[in-house]
Amino acid sequence: MKPIGVFDSGVGGLTVARELFRQLPGEDIIYFGDIARVPYGIKSRETVIRFSIDNILFLLQHEVKLICVACNTVSSVALPVIRNHFKVPLVGVIAPAVREAVYATKNKRIGVIGTHGTIKSHTYETEIQHLDPEIKVFTRACPLFVPFVEEGWLKGNVVKDVAQTYLKPLKESRIDTLILGCTHYPLLKPVLQEVLGKSVVLIDSATQVAVEVKKILGTDGALNKKRRGKHKFYVSDNPGWFQELAGRFLGEKVKDVAKCIS
């Protein structure tokens, strides 16, 4: 049985990998983080597409049966363009979060936060309004959140002030649902919930992505039901730094990290 491939620009995709590990414990999973070229969020569409293709080709060398694109920037900027280039199924993080948010909103006002690249792509608005044209979507790029998470500043006054600045216009737009459109943001859930108030539902895509992966593999008869799958991590740079951060994202220590050139 072949492994599942997962890739991200860096460590954020581990929030998705964590759900895959939980929901698909029998699967072998290969994670690739492009640490040498992280972050993707400020980079142009063509560059994100070029890097994404590199990453997919790297995972294909490992004969993966499905690739999970565990990065919102790649999913929103590159996936619409390259989705049909490859035989292997590519599962992004946008559609699952959108479905959940459309289901959750009561007042039909959804907020979306993400990197510059994700927000500029307008993919979330397009996908949401494709499902329900009546929904109003309010978006905001929050580029400082990623460095805060990576430096481990997850609580305290400074990050709360930053969150207040970013979320003020969304709060004023009376959203009742917020999509965390970046795989780093789940680590900021407590501070985001505090700033927005308890009534706003926070959506991250990890759970639904894993559900979708399970469904596709089930349909293809490609689910691996052995007792315990192997998890292997590759990075294009700095395995030590990756390992340090991985614990924070996965809630468990990562042992098997290898450096490769993507």
Count, in order, helices (H) and strands (E) of the chain.
Answer: 12, 10
Residue 256, interface with a copy of itself (CB under 8 A)?
no
Q: Are 40 and 74 in contact (CB under 8 A)?
A: yes
Tell me the CA distances in angstroms from 193 to 24, 53, 186, 256, one per residue in order.
29, 36, 11, 34
Contact with a copy of itself (CB under 8 A): which of 1, 25, 26, 42? 42
* Nearest distance, CB of residue 208 and a copy of itself, angstroms: 29
Residue 194, interface with a copy of itself (CB under 8 A)?
no
Question: What positions carry a catalytic annotation?
Answer: 71, 182
Helix (H) or strand (E) holding 47: helix 45-61
What distance in Å separates the CA atoms of residue 110 and residue 177, rounded to the nearest whole number?
Answer: 5
Binding segment (CB under 8 A) for a copy of itself, from list 56-64, 105-113, 158-166, 213-221: 158-166
* Nearest distance, CB of residue 80 and a copy of itself, angstroms: 19
* Nearest distance, CB of residue 251 and a copy of itself, angstroms: 22
Tokens standing for residue 255: 């042992």
Q: What angle do CA 110, 115, 120 make, to 5 degrees?
A: 75
Half-sphere exposure of 31 (CA within 13 A, CB side): 31
* Nearest distance, CB of residue 60 and a copy of itself, angstroms: 23
Residue identified by tokens 């293709």 is 53
Residue 232, interface with a copy of itself (CB under 8 A)?
no
Residue 161, interface with a copy of itself (CB under 8 A)?
yes
* Nearest distance, CB of residue 249 and a copy of itself, angstroms: 16
Residue 144, interface with a copy of itself (CB under 8 A)?
yes
Q: Which residues pair with 30 in a beta bridge?
A: 5, 232
Contact with a copy of itself (CB under 8 A): which of 2, 36, 54, 154? 36
Contact with a copy of itself (CB under 8 A): which of 5, 13, 24, 37? 37
Q: List strands edge to edge, sheet with 109-114.
A: 136-141, 109-114, 177-181, 201-203
Q: Which residues bind a copy of itself (CB under 8 A)?
A: 35-38, 42-44, 46-47, 143-144, 147-148, 150-151, 153, 157-158, 161-162, 165, 236-238, 241
